Structure formats: C-alpha cells, structure tokens
Amino acid sequence: MKKIETNLLDCYILEPDRFGDERGYFSPYYIEANLKALGFEGVKQANRSMSSKGVVRGLHFQEDPKCQAKIVEVIRGAAIDVVVDIRKDSPTYGEFTAVKLTADNNRQLFVPRGFAHGFIALEDNTVFQYLVDNDYAPNKEGGILWNDPDLNINWEEMFKENGITNPILSDKDKVHPLLKDSKVLFKRRNK
C-alpha cells in the first residue's frame, strides 16, 4: 500500500496495491497491520451511502469518547472528499484538504480522529464506503457548517468544474455551527 501525505498532519491518501490482467483485478484494500501503523484501531463498523450528483454530505464528526477514524473510498461513481483538522493543538487546525475519489483511481483517504468529514458526489448513484474504528453514537454526533467562510473550502470551484449548479444538502447539514463557535475540543493522539 502506498501512503501519500496530504497538507494535513496525520491525514493520508492511501493507494492499495492492485494486481490485474484481462480478467480484472485483485486488491488487498484493508491490511490491519498497515492501517494500525497510521492510528486506525480496527474496523468496528462498515458503512455505505449512495448519493445523487450534487449531494453534499458533511462536515461531520463524533465527539469523544466515540470519536472515529475513517478509511473512506468510492466504490461506484466519483466524489471529492473534504476533511478539516479540528484538533485544537494541531499545527494544521482549521485547514482542509480535498481529494478526488473514484471507483477507478484506487484511492482511499485515511481520516484520523479529530477531523470533520464530508464529500460532494460528482455523479449520480455514487456509492461511498466508510470503514470506521468506533461505534456509531447518535448522541455524540456533531458537525461544522459545510461552507464556513473561515475554512475557505473552494466549494464553488468544485461545483463549477463538475457542472453542479445547485448543491443538495440535508436540513441538518445546513445549520451546523461555524468552527469558531464549536464547543468540541479534540486533541492529537500520539501513535
């Protein structure tokens, strides 16, 4: 597995090995020892979502002690995955990265604990897969407003480049607080 650094501390693009021929391919996309070295504590839950083109989901997180690290990938369609470092003691606090994930580019994103996560679907019927290392806890759900102006996420550029004129959001995602108003305090975890 190839590990590619992003601009965010502890957040990596992963490219699992892929072996193929005229019949198709084989890819060991989850190897516990490789992912434990990143700080991923093992799969507690695996989730999938399907989205239409233009759907924006996020920016979500779970509060401690149910905070989650995630390994995310697109298994059908395409999306731009967006994550924000919300660990107050991190040198990349408040910064974001955006990574294009497609069914064909063989990329995953490792999202550490203490990050807000979201994505925009670029095609209809985009299937997004999440492997998470802690249980879902509805009473610990949290979020940051997807278009918080202080984050400077280039949503408009992403929309324009991908022919999206009207992003689709849930009512809940339209009203999350700004990062500066969030009461949640995450800290970096030593590996």
Two structure tokens written together for 87: 């660990």
How many Å separate Cα 35 from the centre of its chain? 16
Strand partners, 51: 126
Two structure tokens written together for 11: 């957040």
Catalytic residue list: 60, 130
Two structure tokens written together for 187: 């800290």
Cα–Cα distance, 58 to 50 (Å, whole number): 14
Alpha carbon distances (Å) from 147 to 53, 54, 119, 179:
18, 14, 12, 10
Q: Which of 74, 76, 54 is nearest to 130 (CA)?
A: 74
137 Cβ contact list (under 8 Å, min separation 6):
62, 66
